Structure 1
């Protein structure tokens, strides 16, 4: 089992002018330390308008910065929203490919639809359309990464003519594809499409084993590849995700403070029961009020990787026994110094045994799945992408309704050319003046 980190970039109020700047700088220091410690992947989410709970709105930018300070750790979108009004599929392909090139081929392409009223409503997305939008956008973004040129698409939610989308990713045919899964039905859907399942739902190691077995059973029996590259893997969250490791259990709990349950509270607030006034509602304040009523909320619904290295090793072994391929652990808000020590302790006293066992597990799994992958490839449907029309071309000025023509560039070029003419005339006059002076 691989062990990875998960960033929401929570930032509880009150805020100072430097807080967001410090948040991302601390995150980069942590990811650099995590790379040296041996964590498998850093997953960064994408959310919008979820103040305090999540300030990770542009994961590709943070991951690009992290790519230049790390060597081995994988860089995961956990997830990128695919509804076209949020991220057009051509732009998705461009950003994913660029990050893959910058990082030397370390991208994990996690995808999703979005679920909160803050985001769906903020971008004007009808919840009834979000699955269809995800499906169309996933197809188009992957085709943009793999086709030269992309030959065009006419769907209900995405329409795009033929264009050669550049650059192309370093990982060929494309980085591993994942989809966010919060319930058993979505895990089954991931298996049916032969892509990785990001199981963002707390079940605990026991019930998780059933989900893992169900994923691989569905994959083998009914999986039909939806992308050129199959990604047969399932990831899970660890407890309530929080990670805090210290020499003693008391130190770990003291350093965790009351923040361990904020992730779950934020989900309830923004996705289910909360009423939110933008820029006014104090989410952390409300959380503290609930913790005061019930102190156990500070640890979330299930205690995560919290305690001594020995306690955390035992906690993680339970998940390893479930058969899950990867587990993600969340970093506590406003706890940078304690997080840095936690990462160091994980690297020296926890991760080595899991890394060693995972290397063997990956090799064994490859052998076990070899005949399954043959079945999946035999089921792969023929491409429905249109053939490229070799006579197709585009050019000239963009023209819209009411005969509107975008003339900015011709006007700018005319100004540039006029400047060149004037510069040439001045140069000619200056030469003539010098020649007269030499006589």
Structure 2
């Protein structure tokens, strides 16, 4: 089982000064993650989603981190693939360049960039997002493998070469953001890894693993986007681990509430996240998340978008907030389910930098070694 971190560059008070600082903080965390034994970092790509994600140019962030590290894998989690966001040849070139410079450390995840805000910013039509994401994946795998590449689909490309060539053979591993059963099935059919986002608890991750495995077992291979199949499932694990377990629980649930309210704002047209009083305890945040979750589900239903509470990705009754033993217990559940990678979400908009750094240290010194030892046996 692998261990990674994912970065959104969230911040509760988005002043220009705070924005610059949170990006520096994310770099510091990523570099420290390598020192603490993490296997990979992921960076999202979102556009114009104030507070929720200030990571608009993840290729720059990841290059900056790659130059300061030597071992940890560098993951795009994910690249917005519809052509209105960026031309697929440009994405292929950037990834190949970074793969070359890092000696083959790059992973590429695909996403739709599905908020109305992002699509408005780039003139992307919702009905184009899934077809163009799949077509982009096919373009990459062909372009990276062929000396002279040519493509004729919804767009015409080439002939020409993608330079430089990626180090990894045949190309960097491919993944896809998955938050619903349909997207898990699609990832399996395309033969690419699944990045299970959202705050689903262990029971929901177990169901998602089953859906992914069943789709793998029944696929024909006709929709594979590459000759290289990647059946890898990564599951998000929101976590804050401190010596003071009660403080970790309070900071974690507050951070998760901020994350939930941000999602509800940009995906469900709810109010923007609010500031939280220091006097509010864990129960206050959990109650608020449960209330907001039901309101978001109702709004999605009004928009003719069928959703269950878990589909919103905003609430998880289980957690890895507390002591290292709390995190170990939760990861043991994920291991039993068959999760291939635990994707730690630590940098949430209201969590102080010192708590993020301490959480990375606790995972590196206490949590990860526990599972490395199990694998060694």
TM bracket (short chain): 0.7 to 0.9
For 1:207 and 1:229, how far apart are their aligned partners in 2? 28
Distance change >3 Å, CA 230–CA 22, structure 1 → 2: same
Q: Does structure 1 residue 20 correspond to structure 2 residue 36?
A: no
Counterpart of 1:78 in 2: which secondary structure? strand
Partner of 2:34 in structure 1?
35
Residue of structure 2 equivalent to 1:213: 210
Q: 2: CA distance between counterparts of 1:138 and 1:79? A: 12
Of residues 166, 171, 178, the one that matches 1:169 is 166
Contact in 2 for aligned 1:191/1:223 (Cα 8 Å): no
Counterpart CA distance in 1 for 2:108 and 2:376 is 22
Deviates more, 1:127-136 or 1:208-217: 208-217
Higher radius of gyration, 1 or 2: 1
Question: CA deviation digits over 1:332-361, x for unaligned, max 9?
Answer: 32511111111111111111122344567x
Q: Deviations over 1:110-137 (max 9, x none)?
A: 0111210001122111111211111222
1:205–1:253: structure 2 CA closer, same or farther, 3 Å change rule?
closer
1:24 to partner: Cα distance: 1.7
CA–CA distance in 2 between the matches of 1:114 and 1:310? 36
- The secondary structure found in structure 1 opposite 2:321 is strand
Partner of 1:342 in structure 2?
A: 359
Aligned residue number for residue 197 of structure 1: 194
Structure 1 stretches lacking a partner, 5+ long: 276-282, 361-439
| Counterpart position of 1:249 | 245
The answer to whether the 8 A contact 1:9-1:55 is kept is: yes
Judged with a 3 Å threshold, the aligned counterparts in structure 2 of structure 1 residues 359 and 136 are, in CA distance, closer, same or farther, namely: farther
Match of 2:160, SS state, is coil
1:298–1:68 Cα change, 3 Å:
farther
| Aligned twin of 2:295 | none
Residue 101 of structure 2 corresponds to 102
Q: Which residue of 2 aligns with 1:3?
A: 3
Counterparts of 1:314 and 1:228 in 2: how far apart (Å)? Answer: 37
2: distance between equivalents of 1:287 and 1:86?
35
1:31-430 matched pairs, under 5 angstroms: 31-150=30-149, 152-156=150-154, 158-224=155-221, 225-238=224-237, 241=238, 243-256=239-252, 258-274=254-270, 283-285=272-274, 294-296=284-286, 297=288, 301-302=315-316, 303-330=318-345, 331-333=347-349, 334-358=351-375
The root-mean-square deviation of aligned C-alpha atoms, in Å, is 2.3
Secondary structure of the 2:10 match is coil
8 Å Cα contact 1:237/1:329 also seen in 2: yes
Change (3 A) 1:357 1:183: same
Cα distance in structure 2, aligned partners of 1:206 and 1:193: 25
Alpha-carbon offset, residue 71 of structure 1: 2.2
Question: Matched residues in 1 for 2:370 and 2:362: separation?
Answer: 13
Secondary structure, counterpart of 1:350 in structure 2 = helix
TM-score, normalised with respect to structure 2: 0.85
Change (3 A) 1:202 1:259: closer
Question: Which blocks of at least 5 consecutive residues in structure 2 are unaligned?
Answer: 291-313
- Change in Cα spacing, 1:357 to 1:95, as seen in structure 2 (3 Å) is farther
Question: Once the two structures are superposed, what CA deviation does each residue of 1:310-329 show, in whole Å capped at 9, x if it has no partner?
Answer: 11111111111111111212
Aligned 8 A contact 1:2 1:354 in 2: no
Q: Which segment drifts farther, 229-238 or 291-300?
A: 291-300
CA drift of 1:287 comes to 7.6
1:295 is displaced (CA, Å) by: 2.8
Q: 1:258 to 1:96 in 2, by over 3 A?
A: same
Query: SS at 1:251's partner residue?
Result: helix
Query: How many residue pairs get matched?
Result: 345
1:286 Cα deviation from its structure 2 partner: 7.2
SS in 2 for 1:258: helix
What is the alpha-carbon distance in structure 2 between the residues aligned to residue 274 and residue 223 of structure 1? 41
Separation in 1, partners of 2:40, 2:357:
16
What is the DSSP-based 3-state SS (H/G/I as helix, E as strand, rest coil) of the residue aligned with 2:91? helix
Q: Take 1:261 and 1:99, find their aligned partners in 2: how far apart are those partners?
A: 35
